[in-house]
Amino acid sequence: MGTHSGVLSGRELGGYRLLHQVGAGGAGVVYLAQRTDRPAELFAVKVIAPSSGDPHDTLRPRFLREAAAAKRLRHPRILPVLAVGEADYVLYMVLPFMPGGTLATRVGAFPRGMPLARVVTALGQLAEALDYAHSRGIVHRDIKPTNILLDADGALSLADFGIARVFADLSASQPGTPTTLTATGQVLGTPQYMAPEQVRSGPVGPAADIYALGVVLYQMVTGAPPFAAETPMALAMKQATEPPPPLRLQRPDLPVPAEAAILRALAKRPEDRFSSAGALLRAFAAGVDGQWDASLASMPDSADTRPASALVRPIPLATTVQDLSPRGLRAATTRPISSPWVGWGRAGATILLTLVLATMGYLGVTRLMGSLGKTATTALAPVFQPDQVYDYHDYALTQAKSNPGYGPGYTFTVALKSLSVSSADGGMSLIIEVDNFDHTYTADFALRTLANVSLVDDAGHRYVASVSTPNEVLVAPGQKVTAVVRFPALRPGVRSLDLTFNTDHQALEPRCARLLPTGTVTAC
């Protein structure tokens, strides 16, 4: 199947006019579309058209499988199928338009890993959707960040059941529906997120989705999936044979129990993983709080699934001090084993205990002083103030790029002019400028959904844009347009604001810029 970028732009399918391509994958090409009778309503239309490399007769049952599987699922965290049809040998499926983009966009804004509290929230939404699908007898088989979409509020929805394996009959009215639609020698899925049994073309059940969710969780925590390779085959072999790299080497603030939860989800054998996505969520959430979930107590000791750091349980401090006491040392000398402490006696043990306690005291004081120093430094950091205008000197939010939906040479830049905080209501006004350098194409810069622009402060609070003036920018060739985006009231004491920004309904690469009250911009 070819991507046929832009081929169907402007065409009408079943009462929907296709605007331009916004995504592509193994299950089809996705276009932004509008209702012909209500142009203000936007949708996503996935299409599959025949090509010389993949006959339409082969694609048709797979596409209809996706529609049938998705129609069975009615859950707020699963993207619903609104309509399915066929016109002039083009199969299409109408879906809600998700203006927040994909989880890949959100993860990309945090190259060193997302804040752990946000990871728990995202995992909770995905686990809820996945457990629901499994309860209905459907395995997704291709869970990855690009198949996880965000709505205007940043909530996640699981999409694209295009290669879902239905291990129960689709319905009583469709007897004989095949349960596998793979070509000879072909493995369906994405190697970066495929479970070992999926790589080996073995039986695939819900445990494969748990593995893929574990890979996504690993990526949210560290900023990258556990495995990388030059070829898909080499990548798949790593999934099947190599243990994942320890997470705490990349994310030192990750508690050991949380790391253990992720690594159990990535166990090579399906039976060694969690029994459900909800069980993974509970173990990981407890681990983020530094607690060991009961399910981790029965972790298998197979060395090929986890590094040793995941199997080490923390030893309570009181136990350590008690074992080093003179009484404890005397008791140890009575055991018939060789010990380096034999012969030290009470005096030596007392000296050792004193050194240990002194070291602990020194470390405690050092940590306390460091914390106080950090608090004092933070208190002096500048914060955003009411009745102030912060000039950001035309910072380029989106560089000039080519839009594949309109052809080469379609370029423009969106620059950040300033941010002001009102003294009356505390609301924020973000001023941006769209500069269309190209002299052939009109710049379609849609702001009416307002989901393309959001602010997150240093405490993790998200501000959703409420209005923009104008609410849609269509920049003529060679022109500039200034737009003002309004946000709700700013909370007091904010030291930084992460601006997540994109244009043209995710057709261009997203940008994330950290705004500081000093009038400077840094990377998120």
Q: CA–CA separation, 312 vs 54, rounded Å?
A: 51
- Report the amino acid identity of residue 90: V
Instruction: Decide: 175 and 97 in contact? Cβ < 8 Å.
Output: no
User: Which phi and psi (to 5°) does residue 106 adopt?
Assistant: -65, -45
Tell me the three state secondary structure of residue 458. coil
- Cβ pair 491, 478 in contact under 8 A: no
Dihedral through CA 297, CA 299, CA 301, CA 304, nearest 10? -150
Which tokens go with 155?
A: 């909530």
Active-site residue, from 142, 160, 438, 504: 142
Q: At 53, phi and psi to the nearest 5?
A: -85, -20
Q: Ramachandran region of residue 493, left (φ > 0), alpha (ψ -120 to 50) or beta?
A: left
How many CB atoms lie under 10 A from the CB of residue 162?
Answer: 25
Contact between 499 and 512 under an 8 Å Cβ cutoff? The reply is: yes
CA distance 381 to 91: 57
Residue with tokens 């914060």: 383
Q: Taking a C-beta distance cutoff of 8 angstroms, is the pair 469, 484 a contact?
A: yes
133: how many CB neighbours lie within 10 A of its CB?
Answer: 24
Give me the sign of the Cα torsion angle 196, 197, 201, 204. negative
> In the annotation, is 425 catalytic?
no
Q: Which amino acid is present at 348?
A: G
Report, as residue numbers or ranges, the catalytic residues: 142
